């Protein structure tokens, strides 16, 4: 009985640690934004990340509001980067279509070097997800506070959770240590 209990406790502790690692990995990707966690991701609870990603993806499919879609994609980006491997490539694959950047001939309708993209905040948010340029990050930080664009920007910059008006953060994505 004692041994069995100890095994369960050990297992729970291990799980808790992996959860902590996962939370830490997710925190890192949100802080550094461009990082793809390689080498460490086997320490994470990848199943947890996959469940979160799936839930975000399901919400993305039914979400029609552009800004909420951007926010969901922002979180999918963090989760995919923390997971690394297959999930990350899956995400990169779906991104141009999800952002509406894919043209009928298969080409991408956006040029990451074009500075004027950030003249339009909505486009700037999407372009940042796709291009991850430092100057776009600067532009996003300068968006007028209190506007919906600024709220979405704070999520992409790893400084905010999915806002309530976009359905809040899915339960499976609230990875805490």
Partner 1 sequence: MQYPYSTPPGLTDKGPFGKFKHIEQNQVIHKIYRVTETSILKSKAGSICEPITVECSKKVLKWLRGQGIDARFVAEFPDRFVVRIGDGKLPEWFLKSFSEIEAKSIREVLSFDEGDLLYYFGDASQSMSPYDVLRRKSYRCPALRRLSIKVYYERPEYWEALESLFNRYADRSLLEFVELDPKSLKDIWDLDRGGVKLALLDGKTLESRFREIAEIKSRSYNGLSTLQLVNGDRLLGVVGGRGEEYYIANLLSGLLFRSGCIPYYVELPTTRSEYLKLPRALYVGVGLRKVGEEYAKGIAVLMTGRGNVVGYVDKDFHIRGRSMEFKEEELEEFVGGIKEALEKYRNNARENPELVVAVRSRKFHDAEWRTLKRNFARRWLRLSSGGLLLMSSYKYVGIGPSRAVEVGRTMVDGGLHGVWLVQLSKFKSAVKLGYFYTGNDATLPLAAYIYLRSLDFTSLTQARTSLPPVKYARNYLRWKYPS
Q: Which residues bind partner 1 (CB under 8 A)?
A: 65-68, 71, 101, 109-111, 114, 116-117, 119-123, 144, 146-149, 151-152, 163, 165-166
Q: Token pair of 151, please?
A: 């709220």
* Minimum distance from residue 100 beta carbon to partner 1 (Å): 10
* Minimum distance from residue 164 beta carbon to partner 1 (Å): 9
Report yes or no: 130 and 138 within 8 Å, Cβ to Cβ.
Answer: no
Which of residues 55 and 63 has its CB atom nearest to partner 1 in the complex? Answer: 63
Which of residues 38 and 122 has its CB atom nearest to partner 1 in the complex? Answer: 122
Report yes or no: 125 and 77 within 8 Å, Cβ to Cβ.
Answer: no
CA distance linking residue 108 with residue 110, whole number of Å:
6
Compute CA distances 30 → 64, 156, 176, whole Å: 25, 8, 14
* Minimum distance from residue 41 beta carbon to partner 1 (Å): 31
Which of residues 37 and 68 has its CB atom nearest to partner 1 in the complex? Answer: 68
Which of residues 26 and 162 has its CB atom nearest to partner 1 in the complex? Answer: 162
80: nearest Cα among 96, 91, 68: 91
* Minimum distance from residue 143 beta carbon to partner 1 (Å): 11
Which of residues 46 and 126 has its CB atom nearest to partner 1 in the complex? Answer: 126
CA distance linking residue 163 with residue 70, whole number of Å:
12
* Minimum distance from residue 109 beta carbon to partner 1 (Å): 5
How would you label 44-58 residue by residue, b for 16+ Cβ within 10 Å and e otherwise? bbbebbbbbbebbbe
């Amino acid at each position: 009985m004692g041994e069995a209990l100890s095994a369960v406790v050990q297992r729970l502790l291990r799980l808790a640690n992996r959860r902590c690692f996962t939370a830490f990995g997710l925190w890192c990707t949100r802080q550094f934004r461009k990082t793809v966690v390689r080498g460490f991701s086997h320490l994470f609870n990848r199943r947890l990340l996959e469940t979160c990603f799936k839930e975000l993806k399901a919400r993305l499919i039914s979400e029609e509001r552009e800004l909420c879609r951007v926010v969901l994609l922002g979180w999918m980006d963090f989760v995919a980067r923390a997971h690394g491997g297959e999930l990350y490539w899956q995400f990169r694959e779906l991104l141009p279509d999800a952002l509406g950047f894919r043209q009928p001939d298969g080409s991408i309708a956006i040029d990451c070097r074009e500075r004027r993209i950030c003249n339009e905040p909505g486009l700037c948010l999407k372009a940042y997800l796709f291009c991850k340029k430092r100057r776009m990050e600067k532009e996003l930080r300068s968006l007028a506070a209190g506007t919906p664009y600024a709220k979405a920007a704070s999520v992409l910059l790893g400084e905010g959770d999915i806002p309530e008006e976009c359905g809040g953060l899915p339960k499976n994505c609230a990875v805490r240590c």
